[in-house]
Amino acid sequence: MRRRITLVLAAAVAAVTALTVAPPPGSAATVYTYFGQAGGTQIQALGTLIRSDLTAEAHLLGNKIPASASNPTAGVNVPALARVGAITTNVDSAHGDAGDTITSKAEIANVSLLNGVIRAQALTTSATATHDGDELSGSGDTRVVGLKVGSIKVPIDVAPNTTIKVGNLAEVVINEQKTTRVGDKIIQDGSALKVTLLRPRGKAPVGATITVNPVRAAWGPSIPPKSPALGGNAFGALAKVKVTSVEAVSGPVAYTQLPPFGTYGQALVNSTARFSLPGVLRVGAVESISQATSVPLTADVSNSNEVARLNLLNGVISASAIKVVAHANLDAEGVVTVDGHMDTVHLKIGGNTIPIDVAPNTTIEIPNVLKVVINEQIVSPDGRRIDVTGLHITLLKPAGDLGVGADIRVASATSLIY
């Protein structure tokens, strides 16, 4: 399947992506909304369980000025990859002479990456997006203290997007900055360090990334007045387990996040040709679709995911295809209804063929191997949200890097109307 990636893989990042969906021609935004996010570290190695999601995350979404959010963390340690000291993150909105601003800032102390190959006494990174009427602008900066990359000493005011290669071990981007303008939206991204492995290191494969001080600030049109806010997502596979103080996560694969004001009927699609988690999970083509409309008083939301050629635990579970859909609707009388369904082709669990019309929340257990909920459907107490997961698996014995109690989800979708 041709690879089409229209959204990035992070729930918080998806909130920013929501700002980049263009309104229909002729519409006019009356109010602007900001989004700011800051974190200390983020580690990703697709296809493994070496992943630490954004630590010390602080974020802010809205149009209230002034407003602020912060999050301090004592430190983070991911063996062989990253060890850092205290992290402080702040996101602030403010009025200024040049317009209204949203600023995301991260400060981190005592950084050691790749067992000391890269080290710093302190790193401070900021990203600012400014909105003044129709004028939008972005800026960012990183200040370093005592930063050494290999044998190279880096000055305190290092130029944006400076790249250093450490032999055949890693490539390091320092003071990463990127400004993205899409119509009447702006996104300012930055980080102090982005390290990409050029060769495997332990269980971390080539291409694994370590990001220090990822920050983001953005402005975009608000939800039209009286139009309900929406939510939801879809993905193909997710595996997670708690390892000491770090939650190790593989995935989510082919992730889409629904913008809070919908997609104006357009489809947001994220697909990937294949995915493998050694010793645990292998899937072929994966595609997620998010589509929704939100107009005054009514709304309709649909999120779906389809996974092909599934093989879990070396054939304990297999399927030619699994598709799930989560749907929510708000009618003109203010009534929200939700529904979900799953379709399967040749689904087998423990050698047994599962019918295509399996009832929601059917549970099967293979003793001392796994427990699986098929067509899992969970509706929130207020009836405004539904979560649908094709297969929700809990391991009862270790598999690959996953231990007992590990959580695996295949084909998942969520839809809600606030």
Percentage of the chain lying above the pLDDT 70 cut: 87
E strands in 313-406: 317-330, 336-345, 348-349, 352-353, 362-366, 370-379, 385-395
pLDDT digits (tens, 9 = 90+) for 204-217: 788 888 999 999 99
Range list of H helices, 215-366: none
Cis-peptide, bond into residue 252, ω within 30° of zero: yes
Cβ neighbours of residue 355 under 8 Å, at least 6 residues apart? none
Dist. CA 418–CA 398, nearest whole Å: 39
Tell me the pLDDT band of 176, cut-offs 50, 70 and 90: very high
Q: Are 15 and 261 in contact (CB under 8 A)?
A: no
Q: Quick one: pLDDT at residue 92?
A: 97
Q: Respond yes or no on whether the N-terminal peptide bond of residue 224 is cis (omega within 30° of 0).
A: no
Determine if the pTM surpasses 0.75. no
Q: Tokens at residue 337, please?
A: 């209804």
pLDDT level of residue 7 (50, 70, 90 thresholds): very low
Q: Which amino acid is at 58?
A: A
Percent of the chain with pLDDT over 90: 55
Using an 8 Å Cβ cutoff, are 48 and 33 in contact?
no
Query: How far, in Å, CA of 335 to CA of 313, rounded?
Result: 43
CA 303 from centre of chain: 16
CA geometry: angle 388, 392, 396, nearest 5 deg: 165
Pick the range with the lowest mean pLDDT from 15-24, 249-258, 400-409: 15-24
pLDDT tens for each residue of 46-73: 655 555 667 788 888 778 899 999 988 8
- For the chain, give every domain's residue range: 31-221, 230-417
Structure tokens at 98: 């040049």
Q: Residue 325 carries which side chain, given as an amino acid letter? A: V
Whole-angstrom Cα distance, residue 388 to residue 339? 9
Residue 50: what pLDDT?
Answer: 57
Distance, CA of 151 to CA of 308 (rounded, Å): 48
> Residues 110-146: pLDDT tens digits?
999 999 999 999 999 999 999 998 789 999 999 999 9
- SS3 percent helix, strand, coil of the chain, rounded to 5, is 0, 60, 35
What average pLDDT score do residues 259-278 get? 79
**What are the pLDDT digits (tens) for 306-361?**
999 999 988 999 999 999 999 999 999 999 999 999 999 999 999 999 998 899 99
C-alpha to C-alpha distance for 299 and 209, rounded to whole angstroms: 39
E strands present in 229-267: 230-243, 246-250, 256-257
DSSP secondary structure letter of residue 399: B
CA atoms within 13 A on the CB side of 371: 10
Per-residue pLDDT tens digits for 219-267 = 887 766 667 888 899 999 888 765 444 455 666 788 888 877 788 788 8
**Distance in angstroms (rounded) separating the CA atoms of residues 29 and 32:** 7
| 386 has pLDDT over 60 | yes
Look-up of token digits 């190695």: 45
Q: Which structure tokens are listed for 51? A: 């992943």
Residue with more model confidence, 13 or 258: 258
pLDDT at residue number 406? 85
Q: What is the DSSP letter of 5?
A: B
**How far is 250 from 170, CA to CA, in rounded Å?**
22
Q: Which two tokens stand for residue 332?
A: 């003109």
User: In sequence order, which residues have a C-beta less than 8 Å from that of residue 365 and are 6 or more positions away?
Assistant: 371, 372, 396
Measured CA to CA in angstroms, residue 33 lies from 61, 160, 179, 218, 302 at distances of 7, 27, 17, 8, 24
The answer to whether 84 and 112 have CB atoms below 8 angstroms apart is: yes
User: In whole angstroms, what is the distance from residue 126 CA to residue 190 CA?
Assistant: 7
Residue 392 binned pLDDT confidence (cut-offs 50, 70, 90): very high
Q: How high is the mean pLDDT of the chain?
A: 85
